[in-house]
Structure 1
Amino acid sequence: MESTAEQARKTAAIAEGDLTTVITVRSEFDVMGKALTDLVAKFQDLAASIVTSADQVDVGAKQVADSSTALSQGATEQASSVEELSASMEEITSQTTLNAENAKKTNALAADIQKDANSGNAQMAEMLRAMDEINTSSVSISKIIKVIDDIAFQTNILALNAAVEAARAGSAGKGFAVVAEEVRNLAGKSAQAAKETTEMIETSMKKVNAGTNIAKETASALGKIVEGVSQAGELVGAIATATNEQAAALEQINQGIVQISQVVQSNAASAEESAAASEELSAQADSLKDYVSVFKLNQNSDVRVEETNPAGDQIRNASVQTASSKAAMPLAGSGVGKY
C-alpha cells in the first residue's frame, strides 16, 4: 500500500506536469487517491483537448492564411487589371469625346454648306428666270425684225414702182428716179440688216436655249446636292448625338470601374489583414502548444488506475479514458469546430 508520503511525491510530480503518474487508490475510503486520480484524468483530457484544438486552430489558421494570401495576390492582380482597364476606358472616353466634338463641328460645317447650297440654288433659279426673260425678249425682237423686214420689202416694191413711173415720165422723172433708186438701196440695206440681225438673234436664242438647258441640269444637280447635304447634316447630327450619349455612357462605365478598383483594393487590403491575423492566430496556437508541452502525457490510450483494499490486495483495475481515445473538448467561443 502506498504511503501518504508516496502520494505526496506523486502529487508533486503531477504538479510538475507529469500526467503519466499513476495514483494507487488504497481503499474505497481513500478520498485523496480518488480525487488525485480524477484530477490526473481530467488534466490529461484537458491537455489533450487543448493540444488537439491548438492543432486544429493552427491548421485552420494556416489554411485561412494561405487562402487570404492567394486572395490578396488575386486581388492585387485584379487591381492591376482594373487599373489597366480604367486607363484604356479613359483613353476610349477621351477619343469618343473628341469624336463627338469633331462630329459637332462637322454638323456645323454641313449646315453652312447646306446654307450656301440653298443660296446657290436660289441664284440658279434667278438665272433661269432671267434666261427665260431673255428668250422671251429675243422672240419679241425677232417679231420686230420681221416687221422691219416686211417694211423694207414693201419699201423696195414701192421704189421699183416709183422707178417705173419715173421712166415713163421721161426727162421730167429723172430726179424722181434717182430718189427712188436711193430708197430702193436703203430698203435693200434694211432688209439685209434685218436678215443679219435675225440670224444673230436666232444664234443667240440657240445659245440661250442651250444655256437654259445646262442651267436647268445644273439646278437639278445642285438640288440633289442640297438634298444630299441636308441628309448628310441629319446623319452627322445623329452621329453627334449618339457619340455624346456614348461618351456619357463611357464616363459612367469609367466611374464604375473606378469604384470596382476601390473595392478590389479594399478587398486586397482586407485579405492582407486577414492573412496577418491568421498568421498571428497560428503563432498563438503554437504558443499554446508550447505552454501545454510542459505536461507529460500518457502515451497509452488510457491511464491505468490501481485500486486495492486495506489488506493491500488489488481489488480492481479501472481505466480512465484519455484525450488520445476520445474527441477533443470544444473550447467555448473558439470557433475551432468549423475547421
Structure 2
Amino acid sequence: MKVIENWSIGTRLAAGFALVGALAIGMALYARHELSVANQALTSVVDERMLNIKKLNLLKHNALNGAQALRDSLLQEELAGAHADLDRLSGMATQNAETLASLDTTIVGQDRQLLDALNAARNPYMATLNKVAELSRAGQSAEARGLLRGELATRQKSYFSALDALVDYQRQQMTSGAQAVREQTARDGWVMLGLAGLGALLGGVVAVLVTRSVVKPLREAVAFAETVASGDLSGRLVATRHDETGQLLAALQRMNDNLAGLVGHVREGCESIAAGSTQIAGGTADLSRRTESQASSLQQTAASMEQLAGTVAQNAATARQASDAAATAGSTAGRGGEAIERAVRTMEDVSTSSRRIADIIGTIDGIAFQTNILALNAAVEAARAGEQGRGFAVVAGEVRSLAQRCAQAAREIKSLIGSSVETVDAGVRLVGEAGSAMHEVVAEVQNVARLMAQISAASAEQTQGIGQVNDAVTDLDRSTQENSALVEENAAATDSLRQQAGKLVEVASRFRLAAA
C-alpha cells in the first residue's frame, strides 16, 4: 500500500481502470473461446451429423428405389422395359457407392465401427442384388423372383438394420452434442457471471482503495484549512505521500508556516507601533505644554517690545528736544546753565533708558536662544517620530530659523544700544566739563548739538531696529501659535495611531501561533 500511495492519482486511476479493463478483456477472450468451442460442437452436430444422416437416408432411399426398380424389371413383359429399370437400379447403386465413399472420409470413432458394419451388411446385399439384376437382365424372371423373395429380402433387412443403427447413432450423437452444447453454454453463463462478479468486486475494491487514498488526505487538508480559518496556526501537517494529495498537504503546511511568520511579524510590528505611538503621544503632550509656555513667553516679550518701542520713541523725542535746546543755548548763553542742567538730566534719562533697552535686548536674546533650543528639541522629537513627525520637523526648523534671526537682530540692537550708552556717557562727561568751564559754553554747546544730532540719528535707528524686532517677535508669536495648533493636531493623530495600533494588536492576537 505504501508503494501505491506514492503513485500519482492519475497513475492509480489508470492502474485501476487497466486492471478492470484487463479483467474485461480476459472475460471477452474466455467468452470467445467458449463460443468457439460451442460453435465447433454445433458445427459437428448440425453440419456433420445432419449431413451424415442425410447421406444415410439417401442410401436407404436409393436402396428402396433400387429394390423397387428391380421388382419393376421383373414385372416387365418386354426385355427393353426391364433393361430400363435395371439401368435405373445401376445408377442408384453407383450413387450409393459415391455416398458411402464420402461417408468413409467423414465418419471416425465409434461411427466408424457402425459404418464398417454397414459395409459388411451392404456387400452381400449388393452381391445378391447384382445377381438378381443379372438374372432379370438375362430373362430368368422366375429364378430372379425366387432369389428376390428369399436371400435378397434377408440381406436387405440386414442392410437396412445397419443403416438404421448408424442413423440412430448419428441422431443420438446429435442429441448428446446439443445437450453438451447447452450444458457448456449454461456453465459458461455461470462462469461469466462469476467473472463479472469478480470484476465488480475487484473494481469495487480498486474504487474503494483509490477513493480512500484520495479522500483521506483531502479530509485532512479540509480539517487543517478549517483550523487555519479559525485562527489557529499552531497545527502541523506531515505529508508522507508523494502524490498530488501529498503535495497539497505540503503546500498547506508551507502556507501555514508563512502565514504564521507573517502574523508574528505583524503582531510584533503592531506592538512596536503601539509602544512608539504611546511614547510619541507622551512626547507630543510635553511638546504641547512647552509650546504653550513658549507662546505665553512670546506674548510677554511682545508686550515688552511695545514698551521698548515707546521708550525708544520717547528717546528720539528727547534727543530732538536736546538738539533744540543746544541751538537755543548757542543764542542764549545766559540760560546755558539751565540748559546744561536739563541736558544732564536728559542724558541721564537717556543713559538709563539705554541700559534698560540693553537689558530688554538681553532678555530677547535669551528668549531667542531658548526658542532655538526648544525648536532643536522639537526637531529631535519629530525625528524620533519618523514619518509621522516629518511635517512637525519642518515646522520646528522654521521656528529655529526665526529664533536665530531674532537673536541676530537682538545682538545688532544691543550693539547699537551699547554705542548709544557710550555716546550718552560721553555727553554726560561733556556737560560736566561745560559746568566747570562756562567760557567754553558756546563751543561746547556746538559740540553738544552735533552729539545730540548723532543721538537723534541713533535713536531713529533704534526705533527702526526695535520695529524690526517687534515684527520678528510678532511673526515668532504667530509661528508659535501655529506650532501649538500643529502640536494639537499631531497629538490627535498620534492618539488615533495608538488606537489603530491597539486594534491591530487585538486582531493579530486572534491568531494562535505555535510555541517557540
Question: What is the TM-score normalised by the length of structure 1?
Answer: 0.53
1:288 shift after superposition: 1.2
Deviates more, 1:10-19 or 1:24-33: 24-33
Counterpart residue number, 2:482: 266
The equivalent position to 1:61 in structure 2, one of 270, 277, 281, is 277
Cα deviations across residues 45-100 of structure 1 (Å, max 9, x unaligned)? 11111101111222222222222222222222222212211211210111111121
TM-fit CA distance, 1:113: 2.8
Written as runs of structure 1 = structure 2, the 5 A alignment for 1:295-334 is 295-298=511-514, 300-301=515-516
- Looking at structure 2, the residues matched to 275 and 255 of structure 1 have their Cα atoms a distance apart, in angstroms, of 30
Amino acid aligned to 1:286: G
1:16 aligns with 2:227: no
* Matching residue of 2:459: 243
> 2:510 aligned to 280, 291, 294, which one?
294
Residues 333, 442 of structure 2: 8 Å contact kept: yes
- Contact 2:274 / 2:498 at 8 angstroms: preserved in 1? yes
Q: Contact 1:26–1:33 (CA<8 Å) still a contact in 2?
A: no
Of Structure 1 and Structure 2, the greater strand share is in 1
1:21 aligns to what SS in structure 2? coil
- Count of residues in Structure 1 that have an aligned counterpart in Structure 2: 200
Partner deviation per Cα, 1:192-235 (whole Å, 9 max, x = no partner): xxxxxxxxxxxxxxxxxxxxxxxxxxxxx875333333233223
Q: Deviations over 1:147-171 (max 9, x none)?
A: xxxxxxxxxxxxxxxxxxxxxxxxx
Give unpaired runs (5+ residues) of structure 2: 1-212, 337-436
Alpha-carbon separation, structure 2, partners of 1:65 and 1:118: 76
1:89 maps to: 305
Residue aligning to 1:40: 256
Write out per-residue CA displacement over residues 298-327 of structure 1, whole angstroms, 9 at most, x where no aligned residue: 1x22xxxxxxxxxxxxxxxxxxxxxxxxxx
The equivalent of 1:148 in structure 2 is none
The aligned amino acid for 1:23 is L
Deviation of the 1:119 alpha carbon: 12
Q: Give 2:463's aligned amino acid.
A: A
The answer to whether the 8 Å contact 2:217/2:249 transfers is no
Distance 1:242 1:8 in 2: 92
SS for the counterpart of 2:332 is helix
Shift of 1:41: 0.7
| Cα distance in structure 1, aligned partners of 2:482 and 2:450 | 48
1:231 has 2:447 as partner = yes
Aligned to 1:255: 471
Alpha-carbon RMSD: 2.6
| Cα distance in 2, alignment partners of residues 225 and 283 from structure 1 | 82
Distance in 2 between the 1:224 and 1:24 partners? 117
Tell me, in whole angstroms, the C-alpha distance in 2 between the residues paired with 1:245 and 1:230.
23
Q: Using the alignment, how far apart are the partners of 1:119 and 1:288 within structure 2? A: 89
Report the equivalent of 1:25.
Answer: 239
Displacement, 1:6? 4.1
1:106 maps to 2:106:
no
Q: How far apart, CA to CA, are the structure 1 residues paired with 2:335 and 2:219?
A: 129
CA distance in 2, matches of 1:227, 1:43: 99
Question: Which residue matches 2:331?
Answer: 115
Check if 1:79 corresponds to 2:265: no
- The aligned amino acid for 1:38 is R
- How far, CA to CA, are the matches of 1:115 and 1:241 in structure 2? 24
More divergent stretch after superposition (236-245 vs 91-100): 236-245
**Deviation per residue, 1:87-123 (Å, 9 max, x gap):** 1121011111112112212211321232233999xxx
Q: Is the Cα–Cα contact under 8 Å of residues 288 and 488 in structure 2 kept in the other structure? A: yes
Please point out which of 486, 491, 497 is paired with 1:275. 491
Q: Letter of the 1:14 partner, please give it.
A: V
Amino acid at match of 2:248: M
Rounded Cα–Cα distance in structure 1 between residues aligned with 2:240 and 2:457: 102
> Displacement, 1:11?
2.2
**Aligned in 2, Cα 1:23/1:228: closer, same or farther, shift over 3 Å?**
same
Aligned 8 A contact 1:118 1:226 in 2: no
Aligned partners of 2:323 and 2:452 also within 8 Å: yes
Cα displacement (A) at 1:267: 2.4
Query: Which is bigger in relative contact order (C-alpha 8 A, separation at least 6)?
Result: 1
Q: How far apart in 2 are the matches of 1:285 and 1:222?
A: 86
Deviations 1:1-49 (A, max 9, x none): 9654344223212211111222232412212211221121111111111
The one-letter code matched in structure 2 to 1:117 is: A
For residues 3 and 246 of structure 1, the distance between their equivalents in structure 2, rounded to whole angstroms, comes to 93
Q: Percent identity?
A: 26
Give me the whole-angstrom Cα distance separating, in 2, the residues matched to 1:97 and 1:86: 16
Question: Is the 8 Å Cα contact of residues 329 and 335 (structure 2) preserved in structure 1?
Answer: no
Partner of 2:87: none
CA contact (8 A) 2:315 2:459 kept: yes
